[in-house]
Amino acid sequence: MRIIKAWECDIGEEIEKLKQRLSILDGLTEIRTTVLDIIRDVKKQGDKALMTYSKRFDKVCLSSGEFLVKEKETEEAYQKVSPSLVKSIQRAITNIWAYQEHIRIPSVCPLKTKGVVLDTVYSPIESAGVYVPGGAASYPSTVLMNTIPARVAGVKKIVMVTPPAKDGSIPPERLVAAKEAGVNEIYKVGGAQAIAALAFGTETIPKVDKIVGPGNIFVTLAKKEIFGYAGIDMLAGPSEVLIIADNRANPSFVASDLLSQAEHTPGISILVTYSESLVGQVIDDLQQQLSKLRRFADTKKFLDAYGVIILVKNIDECVEIANVLAPEHLQIMTNNPRTVLGRIKHAGAIFLGAYTPVAVGDYIAGPSHVLPTSGTARFSSGLSVNDFLKRSSIISYSKAALKDVYSDLAEISRVEGLDAHTQSVQIRLNIQNSSEK
């Protein structure tokens, strides 16, 4: 990991460089052109384009009739996983459901004043598409963290797309998670072509109202381009953690959390501390723990490339850097973490204390692990049940109430030059238009 000593450099410049590295949408003209071509082809050719791009990118030959996962495949998946995994998935679902139900926007009483009734209705979107990436890991947790909030909201149709292996199969744990979470349909399609299929629909895959779930840069750019045809959750970049630690932090704990992000390959790991002794101990622990990881080589590669330790003078500077970077995951490993918490302005999810690793948020705690990355926590939040709800305003005026606001409404309408707006009120109140006099 690279070590930056704030007092030996222009720390502002170094932070700007870090922010630039966290950005996911710069310098991607060539990839965007490819993504636009894929979207155009899927929109025009439907399943035919899906077959072409599945063969090109995922190296799998599937007919349109083979995209949909059959019930038999899901049944067989249960035979390939351990009962303990099913139990763990079910416990995670229970926790996620309870938390999402707890934070769901409640109904509110109508606002009533002299003939005016203002109300708000929250209703679920009708259909959602969940993208679950493939690659080096299987990600059953991603199935749960995207699907359960939609289920709690009341979404009736949930469609999952996910890239298959070269033999056309989907990892059994992914299928079991989808079944337990209540996914209605699963399709063996990945990449930008899967996002386009969900946005526009094909002969086989239905169009949905909103698309959620993380993916690679092709998936992210595809979500960006189809926004407006369907809703999206966010533009997700590489997983990232920023740890604020003081001189009492356990170096083994800190090292383990830095590694847990780096093993996402890519994952961005940042430690901010004022303790030079902690830094030395963390470096030693990283070497020891790295050697025991199954994905040693890739994790080390990305820790070396994207891992940063920033040494500052005090806790105030730790907080300042965290607020500037607005990390996806923020861990506060200090003697009094809640004291520090009160000064944090921007973070996707915050983990307090020595015994709250990011892993509990990734798998079991309850809040969705689909979180804003690349500094977007400055203006957005993690996925939740409320992202699957639409808000409609309900407005009701009596004749007397309309008469009471007429003169103000007419004045604003006049300066905007929209006479028909004023006329729509005059005709109800039997008021003669002054221009006709």
How confident is the model at residue 133, as a pLDDT? 93
- Any catalytic annotation for residue 264? no
Give the pLDDT confidence of 165-175 residue by residue, as tens digits: 999 999 999 99
Instruction: Give pairs for 133-136: CB < 8 Å, separation 24+.
Output: 133/162, 133/163, 133/190, 133/213, 133/214, 133/215, 133/216, 133/219, 134/58, 134/162, 134/163, 134/164, 134/165, 134/190, 135/163, 135/216, 136/265, 136/295, 136/298
DSSP 154: T
Give the pLDDT confidence of 24-64 residue by residue, as tens digits: 666 577 889 999 999 999 999 999 999 999 999 999 999 99
- Any catalytic annotation for residue 328? yes
Q: What six digits make up the tokens of 180?
A: 């337990």
Give the pLDDT confidence of 358-394 residue by residue, as tens digits: 999 999 999 999 999 999 999 999 999 999 999 999 9
Among the residue ranges 50-59, 62-71, 257-266, 342-351, the one predicted with the least confidence is: 257-266
Provide CATH code, domain 29-232: 3.40.50.1980
d(CA 356, CA 361): 8
Active-site residue (options: 240, 263, 328, 346): 328
Position 267 pLDDT exceeds 70: yes
How confident is the model at residue 116, as a pLDDT? 97
Provide CATH code, domain 2-24+237-366: 3.40.50.1980
Position 435 pLDDT exceeds 60: no
Q: What six digits make up the tokens of 10?
A: 């222009």
User: Is 71 or 107 the better-scoring residue by pLDDT?
Assistant: 71
Active-site residue (options: 180, 240, 329, 369): 329
For the chain, what is the mean pLDDT?
A: 93
393 forms beta bridges with 120
Domain ranges of the chain: 2-24+237-366, 29-232, 400-436
How confident is the model at residue 437, as a pLDDT? 43
How confident is the model at residue 134, as a pLDDT? 85
d(CA 384, CA 101): 10
Does the fold of domain 29-232 match that of domain 2-24+237-366? yes
Among the residue ranges 85-89, 133-137, 138-142, 427-431, the one predicted with the least confidence is: 133-137
Question: Strand, coil or helix: what is 99?
Answer: helix
| pTM assigned to the model | 0.93
How confident is the model at residue 98, as a pLDDT? 98
Position 288 pLDDT exceeds 50: yes
User: Is 339 or 108 the better-scoring residue by pLDDT?
Assistant: 339
User: Quick one: pLDDT band at residue 18, thresholds 50, 70, 90?
Assistant: confident
How confident is the model at residue 137, as a pLDDT? 67
Confirm if 302 and 265 have CB atoms less than 8 A apart. yes
